[in-house]
């Protein structure tokens, strides 16, 4: 199973008498297995950016056919250059149908795109998949760090290859989710300049974030920084990951043989996943720094013990913003012990729902619990209503017992052979399939 997303710089804008097209709204559908959708935009006056999304395919030929149709539609939309194109609901266009009425503003007739790929990987081959991602996106040194981590664990002999793959998945997640890069903290005297996707917020009033800041700076225990300014990415917490889990970790755990599940459940957390050398699992956190949240999320206090807050960006001296950003933010995620317990047993903070505590993270809406055992049906569930991280169950593999974990390759644009966004124009979209099927597709 695999699919592709191509986010362009062309945008939907308001049209009189018509509801705005927002993020994750499906606007157009083609029977080849392609949709045109809205994605988040930071362009003033736009309601969302145009994204081409293929459905999941089981064979290479169908996936390539969908990309060919996508390129053809882009070429048709580009005719006439930069302009506004109006479209009406239930009208035909290039073999498909507009599902909404609206206006599309063509700002880039070349349709340079940001590409991502989503793929289902057998649990046993997850180590190979992750190593491919790390090697091909210039993060090979992380493999040594993950290997050193594994040596500190105390797994007994006997786990299946699927269990080893599951271990890699958990380590890859924690490796990114627990990181505290010093670059996230901003010096108020010589500050990093904010941009359209990265904003600075003042968390000096939050003791937890101040403590993390002090530890990162290696300050004495009794000393805290005078000011704690944190750089937050608009796409956080997803932006931290090279490969993002779309299948939740509790589902992966449940897909393991009973022997492996019993083995893992019997191990102390310091032996199973989080070495004691890395700090106590009750005092280390998944997402230890603030991240952007959905203002409609209501479960943050129950899941983290702290409220979701709305904050206006901090601006360096001399910088004036006509429209300073105000974002909903979560100070931190669950402790590592809370997360690992939820992997094994479900999320207690959400009435033991069959998901781990990062699927989705606190501050983001998940899917309706009635439908979690299956993949979303667009006729029943609106993808704009839930966050994609950990939204899916495992997928069916070559046999009933060989389940697939679904991952989104967010670092796909960093691949060694991938052209930069400005050069990945619609005429070169076939390149995406060439790279994916040569290097990432399961064999």
Residue 101 clears pLDDT 80, i.e. is over it: yes
pTM over 0.75: yes
pLDDT (mean) for 326-337: 97
**Angstrom distance (rounded) from CA 396 to CA 399:** 7
For 205-239, write each residue's pLDDT tens digit.
Answer: 999 999 999 999 999 877 888 999 999 999 999 99
Q: What percent of the chain has pLDDT over 70?
A: 100
Residue 268 — pLDDT band, cuts 50, 70, 90?
very high
CA neighbor of 296 nearest in space, from 360, 356, 232 = 360
Q: Are 309 and 301 in contact (CB under 8 A)?
A: no
Q: What percent of the chain has pLDDT over 90?
A: 91
Longest Cα–Cα distance in the chain = 67
Q: Are 252 and 328 in contact (CB under 8 A)?
A: no
Using CA atoms, how far residue 403 sits from 73, 171, 324, 399, in Å, is 35, 19, 46, 8
For 148-193, write each residue's pLDDT tens digit.
Answer: 999 999 988 878 999 999 999 999 999 999 999 999 999 999 999 9
3-state DSSP assignment of residue 5: strand
Q: Which residues pair with 347 in a beta bridge?
A: 353
Using CA atoms, how far residue 46 sits from 17, 40, 50, in Å, is 16, 9, 10
**Angstrom distance (rounded) from CA 291 to CA 238:** 9
Dump strand ranges (E) for 71-122: 83-87, 92-93, 96-98, 102-106, 113-122
For 303-323, write each residue's pLDDT tens digit.
Answer: 999 999 999 999 998 887 778
Q: Which residues pair with 230 in a beta bridge?
A: 185, 201
Measured in degrees and rounded to the nearest 5, phi and psi for residue 235 equal -100, 15
Q: Are 58 and 85 in contact (CB under 8 A)?
A: no
**Angstrom distance (rounded) from CA 272 to CA 343:** 12
Residue 278 — pLDDT band, cuts 50, 70, 90?
very high
Using CA atoms, how far residue 177 sits from 180, 226, 334, in Å, is 9, 26, 11
3-state DSSP assignment of residue 185: strand
Q: Are 311 and 202 in contact (CB under 8 A)?
A: yes
State residue 21's pLDDT score: 96
Residues 6+ apart with CB under 8 A from 335: 281, 282, 283, 284, 285, 286
Average pLDDT score over the chain: 95
């Amino acid at each position: 199973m695999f699919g592709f997303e191509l986010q362009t710089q062309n945008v939907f804008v308001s049209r009189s008498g018509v509801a705005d097209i927002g993020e994750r709204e499906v606007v157009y559908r083609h029977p080849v297995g392609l949709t045109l959708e809205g994605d988040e935009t930071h362009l003033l006056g736009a309601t969302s950016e145009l994204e081409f999304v293929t459905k999941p395919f089981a064979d290479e030929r169908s996936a390539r056919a969908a990309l060919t149709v996508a390129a053809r539609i882009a070429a048709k939309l580009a005719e006439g250059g930069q302009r506004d194109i109006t479209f009406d609901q239930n009208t035909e266009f290039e073999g498909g149908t507009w599902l909404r009425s609206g206006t599309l503003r063509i700002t880039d007739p070349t349709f340079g795109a940001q590409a991502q790929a989503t793929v289902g990987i057998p649990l046993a081959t997850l180590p190979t998949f992750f190593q491919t991602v790390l090697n091909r996106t210039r993060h090979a040194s992380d493999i040594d760090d993950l290997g050193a981590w594994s040596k500190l664990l105390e797994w007994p002999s006997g786990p299946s290859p699927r269990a080893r793959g599951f271990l890699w998945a958990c380590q890859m997640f924690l490796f990114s989710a627990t990181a505290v890069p010093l670059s996230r903290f901003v010096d108020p005297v010589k500050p990093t300049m904010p941009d359209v996707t990265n904003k600075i917020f003042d968390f000096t009033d939050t003791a937890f974030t101040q403590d993390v800041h002090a530890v990162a700076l290696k300050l004495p225990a009794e000393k805290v920084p005078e000011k704690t300014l944190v750089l937050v990415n608009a796409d956080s917490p997803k932006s931290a990951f090279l490969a993002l889990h779309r299948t939740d970790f509790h589902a992966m755990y449940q897909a393991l043989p009973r022997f492996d599940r019993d083995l893992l459940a019997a191990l102390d957390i310091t032996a199973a996943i989080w070495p004691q050398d890395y700090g106590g699992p009750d005092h280390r956190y998944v997402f230890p720094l603030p991240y952007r949240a959905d203002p409609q999320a209501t479960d943050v206090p129950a899941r983290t013990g702290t409220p979701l807050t709305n904050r206006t960006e901090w601006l360096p001296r001399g910088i004036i913003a006509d429209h300073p950003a105000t974002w909903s933010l979560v100070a931190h995620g669950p402790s590592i012990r809370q997360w690992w317990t939820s992997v094994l047993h479900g999320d207690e903070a959400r009435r033991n729902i069959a998901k781990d505590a990062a699927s989705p993270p606190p501050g983001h809406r998940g899917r309706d619990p009635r439908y979690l055992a299956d993949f979303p049906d667009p006729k029943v569930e609106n993808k704009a209503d839930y966050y994609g991280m950990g939204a899916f169950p495992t997928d069916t593999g070559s046999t009933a017992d060989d389940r697939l974990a679904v991952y989104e390759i967010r670092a796909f644009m960093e691949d060694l052979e991938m052209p930069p966004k400005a050069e990945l124009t619609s005429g070169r979209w076939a390149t995406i399939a060439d790279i994916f099927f040569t290097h990432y597709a399961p064999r």
